Chain A
């Protein structure tokens, strides 16, 4: 590609002529020239291209040809509103939900979904100083199976399979800040979450399992 300066071509070649050929008259690979333009490197010209009129003409032609593609690629494509919510709604239907019973009387039953309890606990944990990230789960696996088994034998008329009873069990996975003692943060979380669930939901018996699984610096946020 470092040969002598080429004579000017008799006329600008059409794109069709260029795209129908494997190489340029100077020997340059047409695919590589098109790749150079498509990858936005048309201005990065080596010594051959700086002197070769064939390559320069082809790069100009391809730049004009590819412009609408680049324009379409750069155009924002907003996702339909509600897409993420629709996905999560379907996933929640697939998850076997479990419930905590707050009250069972002949007047009726008050129940709350364990995932709501987990979300409240998570949101509470996120507000505690030293917590960078927190996620909550409603102990779906083992506890849900236990709950189902436990409620099958002596089901109250207003209860349902999957009701766990009056004791809420919440798992929280948290990442804490580097400067805060993890054990202290974890205890603060337990204390605060228990108080929140008692005050906001009426759950009197709450077990909060806290797993500190990461320590993040400020710059890792």
Chain B
């Protein structure tokens, strides 16, 4: 019965939870935090390239979202709104802090079926991608992360970044070419 009750809470939509959280039900916001904190950390990590900064950004973003919950309108989804806050916080972190450099905290991509030599080569390739990603200007890095890593549409990214769909696409074109050039150097 307890498990069923828990499952029912988890299955309820973000819009419902956000509305309850706006009414002061902190436990509704807690469910949103549990649901979206992995995304907040993941995006922050890809944008900052640093575990500690990513943890700070994710934490600050989730607290800022709660503090500004009254401003949240159901015009966009809660996740889109949170993507926006995380992206802005990551930009602030990078702008005011040290450059993203500590890449060793990014998880290696492990394939249990791969031979050790192949696995090493794969991890080197993944490190090369990470380097190339962090070398991109922030707006380009953001659209790559949001589109190719998070699967957001151009319209959603435009909403997150306060931009337009053509601008998002243009950033993506440039970013992909720049990434491709970097990866070509690595090969």
* Interface residues of A, Cβ cutoff 8 Å to B: 14-16, 19, 31, 34-35, 38, 62, 65-73, 75-80, 83-84, 86-88, 90-92, 94-95, 115, 118-119, 122, 126-127, 131-133, 135-137, 140-141, 173, 175, 213-214, 216, 221
Closest Cβ–Cβ distance, residue A123 to chain B (whole Å): 8
* 16 further A-B pairs in the complex, CB-CB below 8 A; given A72-B109, A75-B126, A83-B58: A19-B184, A65-B180, A65-B187, A71-B125, A73-B149, A77-B38, A80-B55, A83-B37, A91-B26, A94-B67, A126-B9, A133-B12, A137-B27, A175-B12, A221-B7, A221-B8
Knowing A19-B181, A72-B126, A175-B16 are in contact, say whether A31-B24 is a contact too (CB < 8 A). Answer: no
Query: Are B23 and A69 in touch, CB under 8 angstroms?
Result: no
Interface string of B151-187 (1 = CB under 8 A from A): 0000000000000000000001100110111011001
Residue on B with the closest CB to A140?
Answer: B24
Question: Known contacts A79-B38, A83-B59: does B11 contact A72 (CB below 8 Å)?
Answer: no
Q: Could you tell me the distance in whole angstroms from the C-beta of B32 to the nearest C-beta in chain A?
A: 10
Contact A141 B24 (CB under 8 A): yes
Question: Which residues of chain B are near A126, meaning CB under 8 Å?
Answer: 5, 8-9
A-B contact pairs, 13 of them (CB 8 A): A16-B181, A38-B148, A67-B125, A68-B128, A68-B129, A69-B179, A71-B122, A78-B107, A79-B58, A83-B55, A122-B27, A135-B20, A135-B28
A137 CB, min distance to chain B CBs, angstroms: 5
Interface contact B129-A69, CB-CB below 8 Å = yes
B contact residues, total (Cβ < 8 Å): 55
Nearest first, the 7 closest Cβ-Cβ pairs linking A and B are A68-B125, A135-B25, A126-B5, A79-B38, A77-B42, A15-B184, A79-B41
Cβ of B34: which chain A residues have Cβ within 8 Å of it? 84
CA distance A221 to B20 in the complex (A): 16
Distance A107 CA – B60 CA, assembled complex (angstroms): 42
CA distance A186 to B46 in the complex (A): 46
Contacting residue for B5 out of A62, A66, A127, CB 8 A = A127
Chain B, range 99-145, C-beta contacts under 8 Å to A: 107, 109, 122, 125-126, 128-130
The answer to whether A15 touches B16 (Cβ under 8 A) is no
A91 to chain B, nearest CB (A): 5
Residues of A within 8 A of B187 (CB): 15, 65
Contacts of A34 in B (CB 8 A): 173, 176-177, 180
Interface check B94, CB cutoff 8 A? no
B25 touches A72 (CB 8 A): no
Contact A87 B177 (CB under 8 A): no
Q: Is the interface of A mostly helix, strand, loop or mixed?
A: helix
List chain B positions with a Cβ less than 8 A from chain A: 1-2, 5, 7-9, 11-12, 16, 20, 23-30, 33-34, 37-38, 40-42, 45-46, 51, 55, 58-59, 62-63, 66-67, 107, 109, 122, 125-126, 128-130, 148-149, 172-173, 176-177, 179-181, 183-184, 187
Which of A19, A70, A77, A137 is the one whose CB lies under 8 Å from B45? Answer: A77
Which residues of chain A come closer than 8 Å to B130, judged between CB atoms?
72
A86 and B27 alpha carbons, distance in the complex (Å): 14
- Report the bound CA distance from A38 to B5 in whole Å: 41
The closest CB in chain B to the CB of A71 belongs to: B109
B109 touches A80 (CB 8 A): no
- In angstroms, Cα B46 to Cα A122, docked, is 37
Closest chain A residue, CB of each to CB of B5 = A126
In the complex, which residues of chain A have a beta carbon less than 8 angstroms from the beta carbon of B66?
A: 91
Interface centre among A77, A136, A213, A221 (most CB of B within 10 A): A77
